[in-house]
Chain A
Amino acid sequence: MELQQEVEQFLYRQSELLDTKQWQAWIDLFADDGVYWMPADPAHKHWDGVPSIFAEDKNLMAVRMKRVLHPDAWSQRPLWGTNHVVSNTIIESYDSSEVIVRSRFHMMELRRDDVRHFAGAYRHHLRKTAEGYRIKLQRVDMTNAQAAYDYVLQVWV
């Protein structure tokens, strides 16, 4: 139960960093070789070599963050905000150094006058370090992504 609570707290903190737009702190949750991956196809098993909505190492995350913070990122000018709810946390496996945990998310996004909803599943591959958990791989299967994209995603979900 202690492990369950630990990883839940980690997932809650991660989504709070997104909702409060603390991009660098969010990136810092990843291990140096960590990858954030949103597959284009739920059948894909590995991010390498297949089309992906996101397949980002920390360098690409830095590009995304710097871009979003640039005053001329036109698509980011209008007011926008998000609210994540993370739940249904299931520990898939664990040992002394790593934990694999699945969860479900629901994100409400406000952009200009429009409210949109995004939902799906996370699968976090977490590594235990002296500073706490670090993400080796976060897989995001967003259900919306199976239909035509009537939106753009400018930061991570």
Chain B
Amino acid sequence: MLQERVPDLSRRLSDFVEPDRVRREVYTDPAIFELEMQRIHERVWIYCGHESQVPKTGDYYAVQIGRQPMVMVRGADGKVNVLYNRCPHRGNLMVGDRQGSSGEFFRCSYHAWTFHHDGRLRSIPMMESGYAGTPYGKDHPDCSMKRAARVENYRGFVFASLSPEGPSLKEFLGEARVAFDDMCDRAPQGEVEVVPNCFRVIQKSNWKIFLENQLDALHPSVTHQSTGRAAHEVEKEIEKKTGHAPLSYHMLSAFATVTIDKWDNFQTLNYPHGHCILTGYMGLRPKDPDTLAYEKTLVDAYGHKRMEEILGVNIHHVLIYPGLSVQSPLQQLRAVRPLGVDRTLTEIWHFRLKGAPEAIYRRSLAYYNLVNSPATLVNADDLENFWKCHQGLSSEGGDWVSFARHFGRDIQNGERVETAANCGTSEAPMRNQMKAWARYMAAQ
């Protein structure tokens, strides 16, 4: 008898998630994906971009939030607004390019309605004669571009929520704020600016597979072994020849030199909204002249004690659920834009520490190129695994995905769930993300 292949949506959403495992449809069912976009991405705080992407009045950047095409734009008052990228007249996209300048105001390419950068209607051609006797005009709400329900900025990082309700951005981020604090504090001037190139990489897999991988401490020495070993060999050769290999070789060889048994030494910290922090492992504070010169700029700006505190923060990744992975010590982040149930866009940005020496920028730039470009020596093997994972989950070879590693050993510390000593490879981050997922999805 033929099997029924239509997903069984009579199942309650809570039946999809158990404390240590998740049903495969969570990753592969298009109906669940649509619901995720409505109940998660179009409600919670989503990262839009950094304010330095739109430095001048009228500068804009298009961004997708869930299923909604949005545009982030700098207003004449200096504020960054986030609007639906849609003309209220006939529905045309207001901007068709990914980025650019709208000048003094937005002007629709279809019938020349114009709008201020906060979305308010500015003019309609022959408005008085054309709309005489109708309620439409400048004061009618249907004649303005719709704004995101809430927009907030944390240290230059702009987030929007399409829901008028919910926690403030600061409450939502909670301790995961350290992602931005750590990045900005490392700048002698206390802020960062975007490097104006974005690597946009498409993953042929569900968005959650990427997020789960970000704090998966068991995978690096397996997935990235080939690059770790190759980089380690060349690193040794360079050291033999010149006495010193660039730090970028160390960043790659760590995948091989930190062997699989050592990854339990790290720790993940998990938070109620689904956010997680993975502590650092690469040892990014060598004693070379570039680092010492950089330390001096920090001492001049903040004093010695504060410099030690700033450089003592030991983080590899901070995951801000459901759409952002921040690597603060290397000043880069990946924003996740789900395109479909099996297709995900990541926008990968690099930032410059204002006031830091050029050498520090170049050091993290090397990592940005080697890890995050489409010629990546690292993510290529992740993307291969993500694709294979999604393919396998689409099969009927099993119903469940297991997150049982070190299950039952997590330590609840107030709101925070910490992995126990020697349990760094715990699948606690996945359990925590799915717990948050189930809570978001259950809210009508």
Give the docked Cα–Cα distance between A62 and B227 (Å).
11
Give the docked Cα–Cα distance between A77 and B252 (Å).
20
**Docked complex: A55-104 residues within 8 A CB-CB of B:** 55, 59-60, 62-67, 70-75, 77
Central interface residue in A77, A150, A152, by most chain B CB within 10 Å: A152
Give the docked Cα–Cα distance between A70 and B229 (Å).
9
Confirm or deny: B393 has a beta carbon within 8 angstroms of a beta carbon on chain A. no
Q: Give the Cβ gap from B209 to chain A, nearest Cβ, in Å.
A: 15
The answer to whether A149 and B374 touch across the interface, beta carbons within 8 angstroms, is: yes
Instruction: Say whether, besides A40-B199, A74-B381, A52 and B376 are in contact (CB < 8 Å).
Output: no
Confirm or deny: B404 has a beta carbon within 8 angstroms of a beta carbon on chain A. no
Confirm or deny: A50 has a beta carbon within 8 angstroms of a beta carbon on chain B. yes
Q: Give the Cβ gap from B287 to chain A, nearest Cβ, in Å.
A: 23
**What residues of chain B lie closer than 8 Å to A49, measured between beta carbons?**
358, 361-362, 365
Select B231's contact among A52, A63, A73, A154, beta carbons within 8 Å: A63
> Contact string, A134-157, partner B, CB cutoff 8 A, digits 1/0?
000000000001001111111000
**What residues of chain B lie closer than 8 Å to A65, measured between beta carbons?**
230
Instruction: Say whether, besides A75-B380, A152-B375, A51 and B368 are in contact (CB < 8 Å).
Output: yes
Interface residues on A, range: 20 to 34
Confirm or deny: B197 has a beta carbon within 8 angstroms of a beta carbon on chain A. yes
Give B202's nearest chain A residue, CB to CB: A150
The answer to whether A72 and B375 touch across the interface, beta carbons within 8 angstroms, is: no
**Which residues of B line the A interface, CB within 8 A?**
195, 197, 199-202, 223, 225-227, 229-231, 233-234, 237-238, 249, 252, 345, 350, 358, 361-362, 365, 368-370, 373-377, 379-381, 383-385
**Which residues of A line the B interface, CB within 8 A?**
38, 40-41, 49-55, 59-60, 62-67, 70-75, 77, 145, 148-154
List 15 additional contacts besides A63-B252, A74-B223, A149-B202; criterion CB under 8 Å: A41-B197, A50-B365, A51-B350, A51-B373, A53-B375, A55-B369, A62-B234, A63-B231, A63-B249, A65-B230, A73-B381, A74-B384, A151-B374, A152-B374, A152-B380
